[in-house]
Amino acid sequence: MYHCTWVFLVAALCLTTGCSGRSPDAQPDSNLEFHAFTFEESRFKILMPGHVQRVRQDLPAGKVSWHYAVITDTAIFAVDCRELQDRVTASAEATNYYVTSWRDALLDQMNGRLSRESKVMLPGGHAGIDVTAQTEGGEDLIRLRIFVIGGRSYFLSLKGEKTLVGSEAGDHFLNSFEVLP
């Protein structure tokens, strides 16, 4: 399934951060400084707070997947972009099925319980979903945005302390995403 590489990336991040994005003695990120990043290989730009870790993975049928992440003391900011096989984008029904499957797999991997889901629209009329979830125990918050655009999927995720993920900084990250022409 297409979510496998994302699951592996999240698992690797969890091993280094205890799945919360923070070290045990971390203090809150009070003044995150966001920087603009343009990723030509994945055809998008976004604002992220810090040095971006970038991983490329070759997929079957000559497709490619890219993973981008920033880990702060209190959160993980991540974007996953992958080239899709034609059957995923063949119809709105097929796309919706895969988006829903990816959402469920990501929430399962992050131990998240769905709190809210809504439709979201990017400039250019690209529709996606916006998801908010609580982690098991309610300590952390997860926000996801998932889009399928022009033969690619984009997963934006933010996981960490509620005070950061549910704040202006969380909105700033998610709302800054733009697909390049």
- In contact, 73 and 27? CB cutoff 8 Å: yes
Query: Comparing C-alpha atoms, which of 75, 67, 65, 73 is closest to residue 2?
Result: 65
- In contact, 37 and 52? CB cutoff 8 Å: yes
Q: How far apart are the two ends of the chain, measured CA to CA in Å?
A: 28
- In contact, 52 and 69? CB cutoff 8 Å: yes
Which is more confidently placed, 58 or 106?
Answer: 58
What residues does each domain of the chain span? 4-15+53-152+161-179
pTM for the structure as a whole: 0.82
How much is the pLDDT for 80?
A: 95
Query: What is the enclosing helix (H) or strand (E) of 144?
Result: strand 140-149
Mean pLDDT to the nearest integer, 33-50: 95
Mean pLDDT to the nearest integer, 5-34: 49
Over the stretch 63-86, which tens digit does the pLDDT of each residue have?
Answer: 899 999 999 988 999 999 999 887
Kindly state the tokens that stand for 38.
């343009």
Q: Please give the DSSP secondary-structure letter assigned to residue 60.
A: G
